């Protein structure tokens, strides 16, 4: 197993920064996800770690060894690609055995290790097949097996399940996570899909335009995004962000909606904004609660049934916000609806710097996560009697 | 799994890949590549260059051994010889012309020389001929034959492209019985070399009175080119998504309107490429032209080798004929280069 | 706008029968979604309605009248394709004006300009009008495609997976916008998709298509709560419904190889062996739950968390809100919501039971 360390690593193409200087430590056994939209530099970063791309500055260390200029094959890593990259003229068995043959392993050893990984990934019955006879999921399992059979110090995965259909993706996502739980191998995983990132990662590196926006656990990036980009990018739909004028403990949201700032935040806002100024209120869809007495009023723009729940899209004088509601709720377009925000998961952002405001005392994060934890354990998502 | 001892077992890394080094290497490589391209291009252009040189040589210079690269250029002689019929004046007749008229053709024009018998003033091209001791008897056939070439190649190319576009569209879009066989059959037109089929065609044309006619040659070239143009245009149209026309048809257009408004603009690249290929074939074709035409519909390629001249092989006017003959194809290709180079790019939707 | 009726449409291609007696109706002003996996025959259905493809049997009726003999142009439908429907040689304005310039319509350039500008306003693409389509982003392109359909007032909008090539964020945004637009304009729309979320969120009614046959037609609630077959049950809802073999012994229900045994709710009449379906949100972790399980895997998604709960040899997926502090390997107790159990015959058809609710 290995620790991967990036020190001021950067990549320039001419004058263009594909990756601005970044520091990152992936701990031994950690599952680190690089997340961002296409062109944000996540794949370039992965390719630099693998050695397929040369850095233009900085150092890369694997287990304390400087591998900045080492050849990919000298880095003791394995790569899994999005498009499987299986050799079409070889059977699954030959594909998996290929890296071992390249290292000159003995025939007996190869047999043993291939059947070992094949058993682990549940593809023993497919070993005689050529890639074109395999389903997308099975192809990726063979791809994983080929990476795994070398017993590398670290896995680098570049959107390994991006090309699969939704169903297979869900299944493979769970399998990869299961695989990581049993192997505990240091893994760097690249994806543009925030759901995948949340589901898989021990920690997530959110990147945009070659710059690391935030490094944190799924809970951190979800509840406490560092800036507007992370707030929008994480979550489906992303965080609602509404600009309003702050004055005397109240944010005036569009459509003459005064929102009283939760007391805990008031000091933080006063410190940052002075007595008044513009501020962006951010809240997750589940923070909105439709109640007859809520301080905010908005018009229904659209309603979406998602199966287990409904998403209400409400228009605050043209600014559409998304609120998660119980299923069965359905209003005609144009209905005025009152709602409130859960004060524990409301966040505030500075419109100039786009950075999140922080509470002045420590432990803000713990407090933010608490209600969520509580709910997960004892309340159900939907009603109904539950006695077994 | 890898561990420290595994790292230790490995050979130390002796070589490292430095980005700056790589990029300098790449620069040198790029320079070498460009140089190679220039050299190859020059080698390929040598024949054309030599033709151009020959055009501006005097006859003795053209046949000099060893070949001359430096010489006194004669700017118009070969063109005059190319476009006129002449005969060599016997010495007694030549003697009737005053010396200042025979010295050089510019002198001859300045002195307003005239024919000894009729007293008719000599035109500038007659002066040029006189300088070589020849008398112009009338316009040559070359101009006529170039015009024949233009008509035949132009019409047959247009016909081949239009027919190819329509049938290429049909083969691309519609389901029809034994489609693959039909396409193979069309391609089979090209299997036999021209020499093999000229005799049967000659006999057939004789009966149909198509031999040595423009129409006959246009039909023949169109048929030969059609297989190429159907195949080329079909594959170009295959590249145009069907959805384009279907959207237009749903939007209230007929299929033909949709073809005109949507398929044509998007197939321009293919049409340009096909036009150039067809034109080059029809323009350069030799075997059929030699066998099936004699005078009325004779094309330039069949004529150029017959320009033996009067008494000597006039290499300079053959070179001039070749040069004139190159120009139309160069112009067309140059005019269409935008489409030829652009390639098939459909920018509408990124995949 | 018109109502559209499909009667027993059958369409054969060389070797396959793409549609086998498909019948449904779309009411005037309705948002009807055709949902099905790849190759189910969704696109073929759209093409038959538009006239781009001719059916072998059955007929298509607009407002009660057969349109079988009409060309695509005469049917007056608007088609939004998955991709490739913008003309790369034209500007956005010309693309939008193209349907109006059809010889069938004979509109003056002035009227055309007015209509195009109105539509562009509605879709917020006015600043793009003079651009060529090659310089548009994916989302802008799909907006323009929608605009080309909206610019005229067709009998019906036919949309063939118009959102599937966009990234997730854009898809979400356009989904809401499309629904809002359709509701406010009251346009009859047939929307084809393989994405169950799009179907549930946008449709007034959904038709589920599989292998050329309609499997179920109903409101999103019908489809989600009362799936007609296991196919439909597995098609809608993420994560997938838990589907396990179960047997009935007297009045107790046993899920094979698991710890789940529960009394059969009164009135539920079940065969001796069947399939039990439980939606993940109906598997609820509760400290006093009736069943014992072990957490095998945790997938936090932010707003909710997927728990893989191992019980006996079976693994159930459970969807809980928010983040969780449960750990892999931990023992948990859980319940299932008994009002929302789904029963299916071993061949996959739903066993309907009387419910008081």
B4–A1 C-beta distance less than 8 A: no
**What pLDDT is recorded for position A383?**
41
Please determine, for residue A377, whether its predicted confidence score (pLDDT) is greater than 70: no
Residue of chain A whose Cα is closest to the Cα of C226: A307
> With an 8 Å Cβ cutoff, is C165 touching chain B?
yes
Pick among C240, C252, C259, C321 to test the A interface (most A CBs inside 10 A):
C321
Q: Which of residues 329-348 of B touch C (CB under 8 A)?
A: 346-348
For B259-306, the pLDDT digits (tens) are 888 888 888 888 998 999 899 999 999 889 988 998 899 998 888 877
A372–C322 C-beta distance less than 8 A: yes
Å from A54 to nearest chain B CA?
6
Q: Are A143 and A174 in contact (CB under 8 A)?
A: no
Q: Are A83 and A140 in contact (CB under 8 A)?
A: no
Alpha-carbon distance A92 to B146, whole Å? Answer: 65
Strands A276-283 and A346-349, bridge-based pairing: antiparallel
Q: What is the ipTM of this complex?
A: 0.85
Å from A381 to nearest chain C CA?
6
Q: How many of the other CB atoms lie within 10 Å of CB of B73?
A: 11
Q: Which residue has the higher pLDDT, B39 or B251?
A: B39
> With an 8 Å Cβ cutoff, is B266 touching chain C?
yes
C302–A284 C-beta distance less than 8 A: yes
**What pLDDT is recorded for position A76?**
85
What's the rounded mean pLDDT across residues B312-338? 86
Q: Are C286 and C334 in contact (CB under 8 A)?
A: yes
C201–A311 C-beta distance less than 8 A: yes
**What pLDDT is recorded for position A84?**
64
The residues near B203 (Cβ < 8 Å, ≥ 6 apart) are none
Half-sphere exposure (CA, 13 Å, Cβ side) for B135? 14
A152–B19 C-beta distance less than 8 A: no
A324–C287 C-beta distance less than 8 A: no
CATH superfamily assigned to domain A238-368: Nucleic acid-binding proteins (2.40.50.140)
Residue of chain A whose Cα is closest to the Cα of B2: A153
Question: Which of C10, C13, C34 has the alpha carbon at shortest distance from C22?
Answer: C10
For A307-348, the pLDDT digits (tens) are 889 999 999 998 999 999 988 788 889 999 999 999 988 999
List the subunits that have 3+ CB pairs under 8 angstroms with B.
A, C
Please determine, for residue B8, whether its predicted confidence score (pLDDT) is greater than 90: no
What's the rounded mean pLDDT across residues C91-95? 92
Please determine, for residue B124, whether its predicted confidence score (pLDDT) is greater than 50: yes
List the subunits that have 3+ CB pairs under 8 angstroms with C.
A, B
Alpha-carbon distance A234 to C169, whole Å? Answer: 10
**What pLDDT is recorded for position B241?**
85
**What pLDDT is recorded for position B14?**
37
A77-86, A239-248, C193-202: least confidently modelled range: A77-86
**What pLDDT is recorded for position B87?**
82
Please determine, for residue A370, whether its predicted confidence score (pLDDT) is greater than 70: no
Å from B346 to nearest chain C CA?
7
If you average pLDDT over every residue of chain A, what do you get?
86
**What pLDDT is recorded for position B347?**
32
> With an 8 Å Cβ cutoff, is C282 touching chain A?
yes
Pick among B175, B247, B256 to test the C interface (most C CBs inside 10 A):
B247
> With an 8 Å Cβ cutoff, is C114 touching chain B?
no
For B233-242, the pLDDT digits (tens) are 999 899 888 8
Looking at residue A225, what DSSP letter applies?
-
Cβ-count burial of A316 within 10 angstroms (0-12 exposed, 13-18 middle, 19+ buried)?
A: buried
Q: Which of residues 202-231 of C touch A (CB under 8 A)?
A: 202, 220-221, 224
Q: What are phi and psi of C218, to 5 degrees?
A: 180, 175
The structure tokens listed for B319 are: 């070179």
Sheet containing strand C57-62, edge to edge, reads C17-26, C4-12, C57-62, C65-66
Select from B243, B251, B257 the Cβ nearest to the Cβ of C99. Answer: B251
A241-250, B335-344, C165-174: least confidently modelled range: B335-344
Can you give the C-alpha Rg of chain B in angstroms?
30
B4–A69 C-beta distance less than 8 A: no
What's the rounded mean pLDDT across residues B176-193? 88
Alpha-carbon distance A387 to A66, whole Å? Answer: 59
**What pLDDT is recorded for position C354?**
64
Q: Which residue has the higher pLDDT, C356 or C228?
A: C228
**What pLDDT is recorded for position B152?**
96
Å from A333 to nearest chain C CA?
8
> With an 8 Å Cβ cutoff, is C81 touching chain B?
yes
Location of structure tokens 């991709």:
C83
Can you give the C-alpha Rg of chain A in angstroms?
24
**What pLDDT is recorded for position B269?**
85
**What pLDDT is recorded for position A89?**
83
Location of structure tokens 């035949």:
B152
Q: Which residues of B touch C73 (CB under 8 A)?
A: 249-254
**What pLDDT is recorded for position A237?**
87
The structure tokens listed for A43 are: 């794949």
Please determine, for residue B9, whether its predicted confidence score (pLDDT) is greater than 60: no
Q: Which residues of C touch B348 (CB under 8 A)?
A: 84, 86-88, 133-134, 141
Alpha-carbon distance C211 to B208, whole Å? Answer: 60
B252–C73 C-beta distance less than 8 A: yes
Question: Confidence class of residue A74 from pLDDT cuts 50, 70 and 90?
Answer: confident
Question: Which of B176, B171, B152 has the alpha carbon at shortest distance from B225?
Answer: B152
Pick among A59, A62, A67, A76 to test the B interface (most B CBs inside 10 A):
A76
**What pLDDT is recorded for position A160?**
87
Q: Which residues of B touch C71 (CB under 8 A)?
A: 249, 254
Å from A135 to nearest chain B CA?
22
Å from C160 to nearest chain A CA?
18
Nearest-10 crossing angle of helices C138-150, C168-185: 20
**What pLDDT is recorded for position A284?**
94
Location of structure tokens 């009603």:
A383
Q: Which residues of C touch A172 (CB under 8 A)?
A: none
pTM score, two decimals? 0.78
Please determine, for residue A375, whether its predicted confidence score (pLDDT) is greater than 80: no
The structure tokens listed for B232 are: 């080329």
Instruction: Work out the angle at residue C89's Cα, subtended by the Cα atoms of residues C88 and C94, and round it to the nearest 5 degrees.
Output: 95
Alpha-carbon distance B202 to C290, whole Å? Answer: 98
Question: Which of C318, C296, C314, C298 has the alpha carbon at shortest distance from C241?
Answer: C318
The residues near A362 (Cβ < 8 Å, ≥ 6 apart) are none
**What pLDDT is recorded for position B351?**
26
Nearest-10 crossing angle of helices B142-173, B315-335: 30
Please determine, for residue B20, whether its predicted confidence score (pLDDT) is greater than 60: no
Pick among C171, C234, C307, C322 to test the A interface (most A CBs inside 10 A):
C322
Location of structure tokens 């393989």:
C194
For A36-46, the pLDDT digits (tens) are 998 899 999 99
Sheet containing strand A203-208, edge to edge, reads A77-80, A154-158, A186-191, A31-35, A203-208, A211-216
Select from B1, B4, B19 the Cβ nearest to the Cβ of A54. Answer: B19
Please determine, for residue B108, whether its predicted confidence score (pLDDT) is greater than 90: no
Secondary structure of chain B as H, E, C letters = CCCHHHHHHCCCCCCCCCHHHHHHHHHHHHHHHHHHHHHHHHHHHHHHHHHHHHHCCCHHHHHCCCCCCCCCCCCCHHHHHHHEEEEECCHHHHHCCCHHHHHCHHHHHHCCCECCCCCCECCHHHHHHHHCCEEEEEECCHHHHHHHHHHHHHHHHHHHHHHHHHHHHHHHHCCCCCHHHHHHHHHHCCCCCHHHHHHHHHHHHHHHCCCCCHHHHHHHHHHHHHHHHHHHHHHHHHHCCHHHHHHHHHCCCCHHHHHHHHHHHHCHHHHHHHHHHHHHHHHHCCHHHHHHCCCCCCCHHHHHHHCCCCCCCCHHHHHHHHHHHHHHHHHHHHHCHHHHHHCCCCCCCCC
**What pLDDT is recorded for position A1?**
66
For C275-291, the pLDDT digits (tens) are 999 999 999 999 888 89
Select from A68, A74, A152 the Cβ nearest to the Cβ of B10. Answer: A74
Question: Confidence class of residue B311 from pLDDT cuts 50, 70 and 90?
Answer: low
Q: Which residues of C touch A199 (CB under 8 A)?
A: 299-301, 306
Å from C106 to nearest chain B CA?
11
Question: Confidence class of residue C137 from pLDDT cuts 50, 70 and 90?
Answer: confident
Question: What percent of chain B lies above the pLDDT cut of 90?
Answer: 27
> With an 8 Å Cβ cutoff, is C336 touching chain A?
yes
Select from C201, C236, C338 the Cβ nearest to the Cβ of A304. Answer: C201
A69-78, A369-378, B46-55, B309-318: least confidently modelled range: A369-378
What's the rounded mean pLDDT across residues A279-300? 92
Strands C213-218 and C205-210, bridge-based pairing: antiparallel
What's the rounded mean pLDDT across residues A178-195? 91
Helix (H) or strand (E) holding A321, with range, is strand A319-326
What's the rounded mean pLDDT across residues C41-55? 93
The structure tokens listed for A370 are: 């608490």
Please determine, for residue C208, whether its predicted confidence score (pLDDT) is greater than 50: yes
A69–B13 C-beta distance less than 8 A: yes
**What pLDDT is recorded for position B133?**
82
The structure tokens listed for A93 are: 């068995």
Q: Are A285 and A313 in contact (CB under 8 A)?
A: no
CATH superfamily assigned to domain A4-229: P-loop containing nucleotide triphosphate hydrolases (3.40.50.300)
What's the rounded mean pLDDT across residues A353-361? 82
For A84-136, the pLDDT digits (tens) are 678 888 889 988 888 888 778 889 989 998 998 888 888 888 888 888 888 88
C72–B346 C-beta distance less than 8 A: no
The structure tokens listed for A195 are: 């759901």
Å from C196 to nearest chain B CA?
23
Q: What are phi and psi of A75, to 5 degrees?
A: -100, -5
A56–B19 C-beta distance less than 8 A: yes
Give the dihedral sign, CA B91/B92/B93/B97.
positive
Domain residue ranges of chain A, discontinuous segments joined by +: 4-229, 238-368
């Amino acid at each position: 197993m290995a620790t991967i360390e990036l020190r001021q690593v950067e990549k320039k193409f001419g004058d263009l920064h594909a990756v601005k200087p970044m520091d990152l430590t992936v701990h031994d056994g950690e599952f680190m996800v690089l997340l961002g939209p296409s062109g944000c530099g996540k794949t370039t970063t992965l390719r630099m770690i693998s050695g397929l791309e040369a850095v233009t500055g900085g150092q890369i260390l694997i287990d304390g060894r400087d591998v900045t200029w080492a050849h990919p094959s000298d880095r003791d890593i394995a790569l899994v690609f999005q498009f499987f990259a299986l050799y079409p003229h070889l059977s699954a068995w030959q594909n998996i055995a290929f890296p071992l043959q390249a290292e000159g392993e003995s025939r007996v050893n190869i047999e043993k290790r291939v059947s070992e990984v094949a058993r682990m990934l549940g593809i023993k019955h497919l070993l005689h097949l050529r890639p074109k006879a395999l389903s997308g999921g099975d192809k990726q399992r063979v791809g994983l097996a080929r990476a795994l059979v070398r017993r590398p110090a670290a896995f680098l995965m570049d959107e390994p399940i991006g090309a699969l259909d939704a169903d297979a993706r869900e299944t493979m996502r769970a399998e990869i996570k299961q695989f990581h739980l049993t192997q505990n191998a240091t893994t760097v995983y690249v994806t543009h899909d925030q759901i995948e990132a949340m589901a898989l990662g021990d920690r997530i590196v959110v990147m945009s335009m070659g710059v690391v926006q935030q490094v944190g656990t799924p809970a951190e990036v979800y509840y406490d995004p560092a800036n507007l980009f992370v707030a929008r990018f994480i979550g489906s739909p992303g965080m609602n962000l509404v600009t309003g004028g702050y004055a005397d403990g109240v944010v005036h949201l569009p459509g003459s909606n005064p929102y009283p700032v939760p007391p805990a935040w008031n000091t933080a806002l006063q410190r940052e904004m002075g007595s008044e100024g513009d501020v962006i209120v951010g809240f997750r869809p589940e923070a909105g609660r439709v109640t007859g007495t809520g301080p905010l009023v908005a018009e229904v723009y659209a309603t979406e049934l998602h199966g287990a729940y409904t998403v209400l899209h409400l228009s605050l004088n043209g600014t559409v916000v998304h609120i998660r509601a119980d299923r069965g709720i359905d209003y005609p377009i144009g209905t005025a609806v009152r709602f409130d925000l859960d004060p524990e998961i409301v966040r505030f952002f500075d419109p100039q710097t786009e950075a999140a405001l922080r509470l002045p005392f420590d432990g803000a994060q713990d407090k933010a996560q608490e209600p969520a934890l509580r709910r997960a354990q004892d309340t159900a998502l939907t009603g109904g009697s539950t006695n077994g | 799994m890898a561990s420290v001892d595994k790292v230790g077992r490995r050979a130390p890394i002796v070589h490292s890949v430095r980005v700056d080094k790589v990029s300098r290497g790449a620069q040198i490589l790029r320079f070498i590549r460009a140089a190679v391209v220039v050299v190859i291009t020059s080698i390929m252009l040598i024949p054309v260059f030599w033709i151009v040189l020959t055009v501006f040589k005097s006859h003795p210079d053209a046949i000099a051994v060893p070949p001359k690269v430096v010489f006194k250029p004669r700017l118009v002689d070969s063109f005059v010889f190319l476009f006129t019929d002449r005969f060599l004046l016997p010495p007694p007749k030549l003697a009737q012309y005053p010396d200042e008229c025979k010295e050089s053709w510019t002198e001859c024009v300045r002195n307003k020389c005239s024919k000894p018998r009729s007293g008719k003033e000599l035109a500038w091209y007659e002066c040029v001929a006189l300088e070589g001791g020849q008398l112009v008897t009338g316009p040559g056939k070359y101009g006529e034959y170039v015009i024949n070439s233009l008509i035949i190649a132009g019409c047959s190319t247009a016909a081949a492209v239009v027919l190819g576009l329509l049938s290429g569209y049909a083969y691309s879009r519609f389901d029809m019985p034994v489609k693959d066989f039909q396409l193979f059959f069309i391609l089979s037109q090209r299997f036999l070399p021209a020499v093999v089929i000229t005799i049967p065609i000659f006999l057939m044309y004789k009966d149909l009175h198509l031999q040595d006619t423009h129409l006959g040659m246009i039909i023949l070239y169109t048929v030969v080119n059609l297989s190429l143009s159907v195949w080329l245009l079909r594959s170009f149209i295959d590249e145009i998504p069907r959805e384009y026309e279907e959207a237009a048809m749903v939007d209230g257009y007929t299929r033909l309107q949709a073809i005109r408004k949507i398929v044509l603009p998007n197939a321009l690249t293919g049409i340009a490429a096909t036009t150039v290929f067809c034109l080059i074939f029809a323009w350069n074709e030799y075997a059929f032209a030699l066998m099936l035409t004699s005078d009325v519909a004779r094309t330039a390629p069949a004529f150029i080798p017959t320009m033996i001249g009067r008494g000597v092989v006039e290499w300079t006017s053959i070179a001039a004929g070749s040069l004139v003959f190159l120009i139309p194809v160069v112009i067309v290709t140059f005019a269409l280069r935008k489409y030829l180079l652009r390639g098939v790019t459909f920018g509408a939707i990124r995949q | 706008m018109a109502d559209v009726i499909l009667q027993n449409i059958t369409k054969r291609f060389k070797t396959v029968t793409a549609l086998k007696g498909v019948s449904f109706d779309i009411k005037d002003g309705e948002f009807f979604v055709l949902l099905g996996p790849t190759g189910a025959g969704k696109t073929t259905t759209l093409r038959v309605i538009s006239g781009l493809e001719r059916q072998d049997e059955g007929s298509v009726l607009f407002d009660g009248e057969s349109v079988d003999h009409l060309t695509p142009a005469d049917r007056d439908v608007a088609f939004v394709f998955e991709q490739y429907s913008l003309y790369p040689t034209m500007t956005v304005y010309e693309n939008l004006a193209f349907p109006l310039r059809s010889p069938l319509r004979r509109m003056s350039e002035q009227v055309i300009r007015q209509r195009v500008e109105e539509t562009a306003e509605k879709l917020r693409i006015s600043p793009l009008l003079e651009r060529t389509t090659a310089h548009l982003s994916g989302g802008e392109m799909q907006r323009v495609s929608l605009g080309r359909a909206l610019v005229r007032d067709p009998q019906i909008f036919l949309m063939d997976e118009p959102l599937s090539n966009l990234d997730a964020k854009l898809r979400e945004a356009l989904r809401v916008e499309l629904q809002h637009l359709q509701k406010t304009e009251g346009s009859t729309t047939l929307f084809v998709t393989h994405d169950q979320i799009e179907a549930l969120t946008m449709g007034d009614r959904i038709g589920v298509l599989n292998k050329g046959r309609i499997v179920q037609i109903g409101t999103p609630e019908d489809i989600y709560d009362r799936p007609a077959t296991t196919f439909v049950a597995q098609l809608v809802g993420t994560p997938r419904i838990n589907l396990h073999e179960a047997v009935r012994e007297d009045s107790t229900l046993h899920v094979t190889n698991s710890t789940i045994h529960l009394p059969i709710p009164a009135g539920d009449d079940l065969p001796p062996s069947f399939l039990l379906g439980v939606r993940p949100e109906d598997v609820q972790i509760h400290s006093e739950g009736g069943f014992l399980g072990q957490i095998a895997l945790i997938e936090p998604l932010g707003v909710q968390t997927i728990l893989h709960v191992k019980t006996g040899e079976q693994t159930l997926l459970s969807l809980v809100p928010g983040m969780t502090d449960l750990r892999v390997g931990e023992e948990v107790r859980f319940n299932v919501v008994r009002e929302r159990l789904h029963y299916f015959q071993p061949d996959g058809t739903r066993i309907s039971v009387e419910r008081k609710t």
